[in-house]
Amino acid sequence: MKELRPFHLAVPVHNLAAARTFYREIIGCEEGRSSSHWVDFNFFGHQFVIHYSDSMPELITNAVDKKSIPVPHFGVVLEQNDWNSLAQKLRIQEIPFVVEPYTRFKGEVGEQSTMFLLDPSGNALEFKAFKNISQLFAR
């Protein structure tokens, strides 16, 4: 297997200061370069950039597990202990969840913990952790 390469993702935000605080203080991302219109972060080893925009795309949802899953969304697969810590941190800080932390496919191939939330601009994030990371793409 080839070494996993970091991805680069840029998303719009309507309030740069609020988004900057959210990703740095709530999610815990290290801040990198910035200007008056954008900020980049180390998003769990990936390059993530917020760009100021005065308009935001409409959020739509899909039904999955009888839950309304926001589309589009982005996120990262964490180790289970890191996922547990982040879920607890978000609860303590009273960050609202779009989908509360729960386990999908319990006892099946691909068992995973997952949670969804929105940043201050309405960008949807998913954080997940697999019971067995080798099942990331298993059917």
pLDDT 10s per residue in the chain (139 long)? 578 899 999 999 999 999 999 999 999 999 999 999 999 999 999 999 999 999 988 889 999 989 999 999 999 999 999 999 999 999 999 999 999 999 999 999 999 999 999 999 999 999 999 999 989 888 8
Q: Is the pTM of this model over 0.85?
A: yes
- pLDDT of res. 130: 96
Answer whether CATH 3.30.1370.60 is correct for domain 8-135. Answer: no
H-only helix segments in 14-112? 16-21, 80-92
- Token pair of 39 as six digits: 């900020």
Question: In what helix (H) or strand (E) does residue 115 lie, and over which residues does it extend?
Answer: strand 112-118
Give the residue among 37, 9, 39 at the shortest CA–CA distance from 21: 39
Domain residue extents for the chain: 8-135
- Token pair of 6 as six digits: 């970091």
Please give the angle made by the CA atoms of 17, 120 and 50, to the nearest 5 degrees.
55
Question: In what helix (H) or strand (E) does residue 44 lie, and over which residues does it extend?
Answer: none
